[in-house]
Amino acid sequence: MITLNINGKEMSVEVAADTPLLWVLRDNLKLTGTKFGCGMSLCGACTVHMNGQAVRACVTPVSMADKANVVTIEGVAQSPTGRAVQQAWKSLDVVQCGYCQPGQIMSAVALLEGNRSPSDSDIDRAMGGNVCRCGTYVRIRAAIHEAARSLALRAGS
Amino acid sequence: MSRSIVNQSRRRFLQGAAGLTLAIYFPWPLAQGAVGQEQAEAFEPNAFLRIGEDDSVTIVAKHLEMGQGTYTGLATILAEELDADWAQVRVESAPADASRYNNLFWGPAQGTGGSTAIANSWEQLRKAGASARAMLVAAAAAQWKVPADDITVAGGVVSHAGSGRQATFGQLARAAAQQAVPEQVRLKEPGEFRLIGRHIPRKDSDDKVTGKAIFTQDIQLPGMLTAVVAHPPRFGATVKAYDAKPALAVDGVVEVVQIPSGVAVLARDTWSAKRGRDALVVEWNEAAAFNQNSAQLLEHYRELARSPGQVARQEGDSDVALAKAARTLEAEYDFPYLAHSAMEPMNCVVSLTGDGCEAWYGAQSQTYDQTVLAELFDLAPAQVRIHTLYAGGSFGRRASKNADYSLEAAHIVKAIEGRAPVKLVWLREDDMQAGNYRPMFHHRLRAGLDAEGNLVAWQHRLVGQSVLGGSPFASLIKDGIDPASVEGAASLPYRIPNLRVDLHSPEDGMVPVQWWRSVGSSHTAFSTECFLDELAQAAGKDPVTWRLAMLGEHPRHAGVLKLAAEKAGWEQPLPAGKEGERRGRGVAVHESFSSFVAQVAEVTVQSDGRFHVDRVVCAVDCGVAINPDVIRAQVEGGVGFALSAALREAITFTDGKVEQSNLHNYELLRISEMPTVEVHIVASASAPTGIGEPPVPPLAPAVVNALAAATGKRIRRLPIGTQLTS
Ligand code: FES
Ligand code: FES
């Protein structure tokens, strides 16, 4: 039995310790917002936060998440940064097929939590592990800058 | 094509029908209730619209939303004529029912592709919206006892200025349902548009930024099993024997079954199914399997290119003109197989019910898939109820030519006699190695210039597998010419007095091929626009003015070319790079799917040959711009998609085995490689045409022409890879 803290809620699952967190989230806990794209830490579709860090859930054994605070796309709106990023994503209509976007948003939130005004090269570094096959990169970049602006505005007011 | 599990007799039946006809189905009442329609709506004037007493306006989308923004586009067209408030509009996916939801360009078949969604729906949805509006107005006129002509509608509210009376759509819904459907409706003049041409938000953004959007991968049904399949290592190999025991020993694995395309492991969850497949031992019969190398295939294609093929277009006498030309140039271009590699690998959920079969997935060819599944289960096509979900990308893949992934899911359900609903999951490796690739192509071009530098002769020979062959569209192949192989080449717009385009379609390849975003234009734009650039240089002419001089009869090509050149500052020199950097600018223009796109690319090349595409200026003409922001998004995305392929993508073979398996050896574009994209839309009153595919073709030639301008090196083989560094 493994006890997880997901989006602020305690949850217990009966799975093998080496099961990737991704499949526990999706198949056991029915939190299907976190996506499967490659299973090899190559695409970022499965990105979640573990104790504030962006991690690839497809290569994270669930045992590593034991006692950690995990945040998924379903819970990201609990933080002001999460809300600002989602809002920027909506106001710029970043999404196309949308399949990569939960992972993109989780990576963007982790970036902004640590860096309130990221440069283009900061964005390239932090978002380099998230593939968007639809090619929404122009808007992802713009939306991160937009979210940074709106967070700065809020902090200033 | 022995990997294909399509039954030949059905294929012949489909091909025998005229034109694009697939089959004719009768409306089947059960299919209509397939989409969750909880409460009866007050007003359903037609198959595309429901208005509830709660003022909800539900627009039923007959096309798959795979990222191209079609839910937003279709809803805009209908809501415009209805005069609804955009905020009250929601979109729902249509059930599979070709009698109501066929693609008007495809005969009686429902499906999405060829950038036709908006184009074929334009008149249909305008009329649907306008007639519903007329019924709402008639209802108000009757209630208020005023002339209908004095009533206005805006933002979901019906008003009569004289009496000051107002009612919302919801308040009028029941009464409107009693009105006769008008036979004639007036459609708006462009000057009256309030939604079309404006920036309005996408309808799928909310669901997609919160993780609530449901894709096939997210479907969970009671008792559902997840299947992962062991596929043959080579196209054409079959199962000789297998040992299920090690798989069955894996926790969570429930069953192992053989199906025509391999051995399926069914488990209670995805991870167990994957572990079960890893443990499974399968022996393959590979005697008749594909066993060639990419180099052998290329050699064979080059050989074919030495002899004339089937003529796709001929004007004047290009042989004589070439012989007489002051100067001749020749170039060969090579294109690899390409994978679609949508972010969501192919998948499908199938369940057998008492009275038929249900399927949940990002269905792109509903009618064709219904036929295929119905035949397998011995049902009537209408008994196959398809719930079309959001697709995590497609780029042509989900409109599977042999229904490969949906049929595989159905075979698994059949093998377990329908005991449980099954979700078939292809892992990335399955998706990448399953075939249905953009075909490999070899092009050979020759051209002649006269003493003044005019282009007087053009010969273009193409060698590559047919994508329409073996598909429901095979009847479009005429006299050995697959139009999808030569589009963009046979339709070369430049005025050249002597021209020949011919084609070889090698049929001995066993690699399954399919349409891939922009289909034939994904290679023909490259060879034609790169060769044109070389010729312009040889003639000592400016690539833009030289093209324009030959585009007299093609004002829309010329229009986008001029606009892109102007916005890119073509007349001004490109700002120099840093010390040791070389910069270059290149242009290309191409028409595909009746839309016109020109692009100017700017590149910076380092001293070691590494390069970056800095900026791409795009001009597009796709008729009336329904959602300018969605068009911009498609152009930006199309640039990224095309650049990805141009830089590194290739599917290659060793001894018949696909060498690529996941994103480490089939590398997709990353954010740091994405250029700045500027999009300029030509104002147009022409009927709208597609924008999903047309931004793709000009990108690679524009980039490669820019690289030639920077370095003097002409790249004639895609992907570009390390050709500039090595
Ligand atoms: S699914 Fe985890 S990185 Fe791709
Ligand atoms: S939006 Fe489709 S993969 Fe990113």
Pairwise CB contact (< 8 Å): A133 & B668: yes
Q: In what order do the strands lie in the sheet with B498-504?
A: B310-315, B498-504, B455-464, B441-449, B327-335
Bridge partners, residue B8, by sequence: none
The domain in which residue A28 lies consists of: 2-71
pLDDT, mean of residues B128-146: 97
Task: Kindly state whether A78 is in contact with chain B, defined as any CB-CB distance less than 8 angstroms.
Answer: no
What is the CATH number for A107?
Answer: 1.10.150.120
- d(Cα B393, Cα B362) in Å, to the nearest integer? 9
Q: In what order do the strands lie in the sheet with A53-56?
A: A9-13, A2-6, A69-71, A47-50, A53-56
User: What is the mean pLDDT of each successive set of 10 residues along chain A, which is 157 residues long?
Assistant: 95 95 98 98 98 97 95 98 98 98 98 98 98 98 98 86
| Angstroms from A118 CA to nearest CA on chain B | 14
How many Å lie between the centroid of ligand 2 and the Cα of residue A112?
21
One-character DSSP codes across B564-624: HHHHHTTTSPPPP-STT-EEEEEEEEEEETTEEEEEEEEEEE-TTS-EEEEEEEEEEE-SS
pLDDT, mean of residues B320-336: 98
Tokens at residue A47, please? 């990105």
Q: How many CB pairs under 8 A join A and B?
A: 176
Task: Kindly state whether A59 is in contact with chain B, defined as any CB-CB distance less than 8 angstroms.
Answer: no
Please count the other Cβ atoms lying within 10 Å of the Cβ belonging to residue B624. Answer: 18
pLDDT band at residue B485 using 50, 70 and 90 as cut-offs: very high
User: Chain B residues with CB inside 8 Å of A28's CB?
Assistant: 269
E strands along B40-124, which residues?
43-46, 49-51, 57-61, 89-93
Domain boundary among A54, A71, A88: A71
Domain boundary among A39, A71, A103: A71
- Cβ within 8 Å of A, B 636-655: 636-641, 643-644
Tell me if A97 CB under 6 Å of ligand 2.
yes
User: Chain B residues with CB inside 8 Å of A136's CB?
Assistant: 633, 636-637, 640
Nearest by CB to B674, which of A16, A74, A138? A138
A120 plus A58 within the same structural domain: no
pLDDT value for B3: 32
User: Chain B residues with CB inside 8 Å of A26's CB?
Assistant: 217-218, 270
Pairwise CB contact (< 8 Å): A40 & B674: no
Nearest-CA residue for ligand 1 atom 3 is A41
pLDDT value for B107: 86
Place of tokens 């969570």: B252
Asked whether residue B37 carries a pLDDT value surpassing 60, the answer given is no
pLDDT value for A141: 98
How does strand A69-71 pair with strand A47-50? antiparallel
Asked whether residue B573 carries a pLDDT value surpassing 80, the answer given is yes
Pairwise CB contact (< 8 Å): B663 & A89: no
| Angstroms from A66 CA to nearest CA on chain B | 19
pLDDT, tens only, B332-349: 999 999 999 999 999 999
How many Å lie between the centroid of ligand 2 and the Cα of residue B343?
7
Among B677, B695, B513, B686, CA closest to B596: B695
Nearest by CB to A23, which of B202, B271, B670? B271
Tell me if A138 CB under 6 Å of ligand 2.
no
pLDDT, tens only, B645-659: 999 999 999 999 999
Nearest by CB to A19, which of B271, B633, B643? B271
Task: Kindly state whether A17 is in contact with chain B, defined as any CB-CB distance less than 8 angstroms.
Answer: no
pLDDT band at residue B41 using 50, 70 and 90 as cut-offs: confident
Going by the DSSP 8-state scheme, the letter that residue B516 receives in this structure is -
Tokens at residue B59, please? 């627009």
- Pocket of ligand 1, candidates A32, A42, A104: which has the most ligand atoms within 8 Å of its Cβ, to mutate? A42
How many Å lie between the centroid of ligand 2 and the Cα of residue B392?
7
Pairwise CB contact (< 8 Å): A132 & B209: no
Pairwise CB contact (< 8 Å): A139 & B344: no
Q: In what order do the strands lie in the sheet with B582-592?
A: B582-592, B595-605, B611-621, B676-681
A58 plus A109 within the same structural domain: no
- d(Cα A22, Cα A16) in Å, to the nearest integer? 13
- φ and ψ of A111, to 5 deg: -60, -50
Question: Secondary structure of chain B: what % helix, strand, coil (to 5)?
Answer: 30, 25, 45
Domain count, chain A: 2
| Angstroms from A50 CA to nearest CA on chain B | 18
- Pocket of ligand 2, candidates B343, B394, B397, B636: which has the most ligand atoms within 8 Å of its Cβ, to mutate? B343
Residue B65 to residues B113, B392, B439: CA-CA distances in angstroms?
A: 11, 9, 25
Residue B36 to residues B39, B83, B204, B215: CA-CA distances in angstroms?
A: 9, 26, 18, 16
Q: Is the peptide bond before B719 cis (omega within 30 degrees of 0)?
A: yes
Amino acid in position A34: T
Query: Which regions of chain B carry the CATH code 3.30.365.10?
Result: 16-210, 216-287+346-425, 295-337+438-711
Please count the other Cβ atoms lying within 10 Å of the Cβ belonging to residue B162. Answer: 11
- Cβ within 8 Å of A, B 307-366: 341-345
CB B461 within 8 Å of CB B444: yes
pLDDT value for B15: 32
Tokens at residue B418, please? 């329908």
Tokens at residue B631, please? 């068009």
A52 plus A113 within the same structural domain: no
Kindly indicate whether the ipTM for this predicted assembly is greater than 0.95, answering yes or no. Answer: yes
Chain B: residue nearest A76 by CA? B210
Please count the other Cβ atoms lying within 10 Å of the Cβ belonging to residue B330. Answer: 12
Dihedral (Cα; B312, B316, B321, B323), 10-degree rounding:
60
Amino acid in position B693: E
| Angstroms from A70 CA to nearest CA on chain B | 16
Record: fold of B16-210: Aldehyde Oxidoreductase; domain 4 (3.30.365)
A82 plus A148 within the same structural domain: yes
| B27: three-class secondary structure by DSSP | coil
Task: Kindly state whether A48 is in contact with chain B, defined as any CB-CB distance less than 8 angstroms.
Answer: no
pLDDT band at residue B39 using 50, 70 and 90 as cut-offs: low
pLDDT value for A156: 79
- d(Cα B706, Cα B703) in Å, to the nearest integer? 5
Task: Kindly state whether A56 is in contact with chain B, defined as any CB-CB distance less than 8 angstroms.
Answer: no
What atom of ligand 1 comes closest to residue A35's alpha carbon? 1
User: Chain A residues with CB inside 8 Å of B393's CB?
Assistant: 96-97, 99, 133-134
pLDDT, mean of residues B443-455: 97
What atom of ligand 2 comes closest to residue A98's alpha carbon? 1
What atom of ligand 2 comes closest to residue B393's alpha carbon? 2
pLDDT, tens only, A101-144: 999 999 999 999 999 999 999 999 999 999 999 999 999 999 99
Pairwise CB contact (< 8 Å): B669 & A135: yes
pLDDT value for B26: 25
Q: Which ligand is nearest to the CA of A22?
A: 1
- d(Cα B320, Cα B306) in Å, to the nearest integer? 18
One-character DSSP codes across B401-439: TT-HHHHHHHHHHHHTTTSS-EEEE--HHHHHHS--BBP
Among B284, B296, B290, B293, CA closest to B234: B290
Asked whether residue B30 carries a pLDDT value surpassing 60, the answer given is no
Pairwise CB contact (< 8 Å): A98 & B672: no
Pairwise CB contact (< 8 Å): A23 & B68: no
pLDDT value for B25: 26
Tell me if A101 CB under 6 Å of ligand 2.
yes
pLDDT value for B509: 72
CB A66 within 8 Å of CB A1: no
A81 plus A152 within the same structural domain: yes
Place of tokens 């290309």: B588
How does strand B356-361 pair with strand B384-388? parallel
Task: Kindly state whether B428 is in contact with chain A, defined as any CB-CB distance less than 8 angstroms.
Answer: yes
CATH of B216-287+346-425, one of 3.40.50.300, 3.30.365.10, 3.90.1300.10, 3.40.50.620: 3.30.365.10
pLDDT, tens only, B176-209: 999 999 999 999 999 999 999 999 999 999 999 9
Q: How far apart are the first and last CA of chain B?
A: 37
What is the CATH number for A7?
Answer: 3.10.20.30
- d(Cα A23, Cα A35) in Å, to the nearest integer? 9
A110 plus A60 within the same structural domain: no
A63 plus A86 within the same structural domain: no
Task: Kindly state whether A14 is in contact with chain B, defined as any CB-CB distance less than 8 angstroms.
Answer: no
Asked whether residue B534 carries a pLDDT value surpassing 70, the answer given is yes
Asked whether residue B617 carries a pLDDT value surpassing 60, the answer given is yes
Task: Report the number of secondary-structure helices (H) and strands (E) in chain A.
Answer: 5, 5
A137-156 and A101-114 helices, crossing angle to 10°: 40
pLDDT, mean of residues B527-548: 98
Going by the DSSP 8-state scheme, the letter that residue B288 receives in this structure is T
A91 plus A121 within the same structural domain: yes
One-character DSSP codes across A60-89: SBGGGGTTSEEE-TTTGGGSHHHHHHHHHH
- d(Cα B267, Cα B251) in Å, to the nearest integer? 9
- d(Cα B58, Cα B78) in Å, to the nearest integer? 10
Place of tokens 């020949």: B500
- d(Cα B520, Cα B396) in Å, to the nearest integer? 12
Q: Which CATH architecture has domain B295-337+438-711?
A: 2-Layer Sandwich (3.30)
Task: Kindly state whether A39 is in contact with chain B, defined as any CB-CB distance less than 8 angstroms.
Answer: yes
User: Chain B residues with CB inside 8 Å of A135's CB?
Assistant: 636-641, 643-644, 669, 674
Pairwise CB contact (< 8 Å): B633 & A139: yes
Nearest-CA residue for ligand 2 atom 4 is A132
pLDDT, mean of residues B129-139: 97
How does strand B595-605 pair with strand B582-592? antiparallel
Task: Kindly state whether A52 is in contact with chain B, defined as any CB-CB distance less than 8 angstroms.
Answer: no
Please count the other Cβ atoms lying within 10 Å of the Cβ belonging to residue B186. Answer: 10
How does strand B225-230 pair with strand B422-425? parallel
Question: Secondary structure of chain A: what % helix, strand, coil (to 5)?
Answer: 45, 15, 40
How many CA atoms lie less than 13 Å away from B157 in the CB half-sphere?
8
Domain boundary among A19, A40, A71: A71
Q: Name the more confident of B20 and B159.
A: B159
CB B338 within 8 Å of CB B516: yes
What atom of ligand 2 comes closest to residue B392's alpha carbon? 2
Pairwise CB contact (< 8 Å): A35 & B641: no
- d(Cα B151, Cα B142) in Å, to the nearest integer? 11
Residue B504 burial by CB count (10 A; 0-12/13-18/19+): exposed, middle or buried?
Answer: buried
- Cβ within 8 Å of A, B 39-68: 66-68
